[in-house]
Homo-oligomer: A and B are copies of this chain.
Amino acid sequence: MPAKNPDLHGNAPDKSDVALLLIDVINDLEFPEGDQLLQHAVPMAERIARLKDQAERAGVPVIYVNDNFGRWRSNFNAQVEHCLQDGMRGRPIAERLRPGEGDYFVLKPKHSGFYSTTLDILLEYFGAKTLVLTGMAANICVLFTANDAYMRDFHLVVPADCVASNSEEENRHALEQMRKVLKADVRPSDELRLEELGRRR
C-alpha cells in the first residue's frame, strides 16, 4: 500500500477556517437525570438546527462529536437509528438534528472530543482556527472539549443558547468558565454570522 501523505490517506476533507461541532446530541437520554436535561435540550436543538442550516449555506463543515454507544462494533448510523426509535427520550433531539450525507462524525470514547479520537487531525486538515461548540452537557463533555480546544489554541465560540445542562445553574457556571478562562465568545446564536468568524481572524 503506498504511503499516502500529505492528505489524510487519500481522503482530504474540506478546507475551512471555522468548524461547527455538535457534541453528544445523538443520545437516547435514557438515564436518571435525562428528563431534566431533555427540557433544556429541546429548545437547544432548535437553535442548533438553525445554526447548522447557516453553516451549510456558508460552507462551514459540521462535525458530530458523539459518544459511541455501539461498543466500537456498530457505526454512527446505527446509533442514530437507535435514538430515533419510538419512546426514546432523546428522540425529539435526534429527529431535529439528524446527520446528513455531507456531515462529518467523530466517535469519542470519553468526555472530551479530542481524547483518543481523530478530531485533532481532522481539524488540522480543515485548517480550522475557530470552533463553534454546541451540544450537551455544557458542564461536562462540552467543557472538557472546550478545554482541550483551548490548549490547542483554537478560538472558541460557544453560543449560550446552543448548549444545555441538567440545571440552569450548572449551565451558567460552565458558560462563565468558558467565557472567562477560555476566552470563549458566548453570545447567543442569533447574533452569530458564521461566515464572518473565519474572516475576522
Contacts and interface: CB of A to CB of B under 8 A. Distances in A.
Interface in A84-115: 101-112, 115
Interface stretch (A42-50, A51-59, A133-141, A185-193): A133-141
Chain A interface category by residue count: 35 or more
Contacts of A27: 1
Interface in A126-181: 136-137, 139-141, 143-144, 147-148, 150-151, 153, 173, 177, 181
11 contacts: A3-B150, A5-B150, A8-B68, A11-B68, A72-B106, A110-B121, A111-B151, A112-B147, A116-B118, A139-B177, A144-B151
A33 interface: yes
Given A73-B104, A75-B75, A77-B75, A5 B153 contact: yes
A126 to B, nearest CB: 10
Given A68-B11, A77-B75, A181-B140, A147 B150 contact: no
- How many copies of this chain? 4
A151 B115 contact: yes
Contact of A118 (B72, B101, B137, B150): B72
B32 A2 contact: yes
Given A5-B150, A5-B153, 6 more contacts: A1-B27, A1-B136, A9-B110, A71-B104, A72-B105, A116-B120
B121 A8 contact: no
A98 to B, nearest CB: 14
Interface string A20-46: 000010010001110001000000000
A107 B11 CA distance: 12
Contacts of A72: 8, 11, 13, 104-106, 118, 122
